[in-house]
Each structure stands twice: as structure tokens, then as C-alpha cells.
Amino acid sequence: MRNVLEGVFQFLGISYKNFNLSEMKTHYHAATTPKSLTLQLWRNQLLRLRARRVYLDHLIDVPNRTEITDNMILRIIDLLHRIINPHKEKKPPNMKMETRMFLNYYFSRENGSLSGLIGKDVESFWYLD
């Protein structure tokens, strides 16, 4: 772990000497996954419009967001689902190769801009597989 951290610090151009290694023992923002992925996928299909509304709140220039209704039945179904299928802290399933390829393509432009911003070649570190 020390070698990895030294490499990251060197990449960022930060001195590793003043870093307190004991602070790295805590795992912040650990992944949580649903108890049953099948049940989660079923819920996602059933409540597609409700889930879509959450993301629309973060987008700009979305016409007439109020068309998506948020009725009480959908809220109750969502509440029951959260009780039956809670998210647990565990390792998520491995990423599919198609997903990895899509993300590499999607972030290639942003990584190019980031390289210019920080003065490091991000792409040489991003696409390691």
C-alpha cells in the first residue's frame, strides 16, 4: 500500500513525508449494493419514471419536468422495496467489458482536458487494462 500511495503522491507532485498513514485505515464511501440485484432491476423497470425524475433535477434545459408524476402508489412501492431489499456494504460485481469500453470512450475527452489542467498525462494512467 505504501508503494501505491507514494506513486499517487509523486504523480500529484505532493510530498509523501508529511502524510499520516494511519488516516488511510478508514474506508470512506464504501460501495453498497442491493441485497438482491434481480429485485433491484425489477424495481428499476417498474419505477423508471420515478428514478428519471431524480436525475432531471440535476440537468439544465429540461423542458416541462412536471410532466413526470410522483404519485403515492409509486412512493409506497419504493418504500417497500427499500425495506425488502436494503443496500448492504459489500463488494460490487465486476464491471462488464462493454461498460468499461463505454466509460473509457465517454471520459476520453474529459481526461484530455484534465491532463492540460494538471500538467500530467492522465490517459497513460487511466487505461491500464
Question: Is 77 domain-assigned?
Answer: yes
At residue 72, the pLDDT reads: 78
Give the chain's residues under pLDDT 50: none
At residue 57, the pLDDT reads: 66
The total of structural domains in the chain comes to 1
Question: Is 20 domain-assigned?
Answer: no
Coil, strand or helix at 46: helix
At residue 74, the pLDDT reads: 79
Question: Is 47 domain-assigned?
Answer: yes
Question: Is 106 domain-assigned?
Answer: no
Question: Is 5 domain-assigned?
Answer: no
Q: Give DSSP secondary structure letters for 64-89.
A: -GGGS---HHHHHHHHHHHHHS-EEE
Nearest to 43 by CA among 106, 15, 85, 95: 85
**In angstroms, rounded to a whole number, what is the distance separating the alpha carbons of residues 127 and 101?**
10
Question: Is 6 domain-assigned?
Answer: no
Question: Is 25 domain-assigned?
Answer: no
Question: Is 108 domain-assigned?
Answer: no
Domain range for 79: 31-93
**In angstroms, rounded to a whole number, what is the distance separating the alpha carbons of residues 2 and 115?**
25
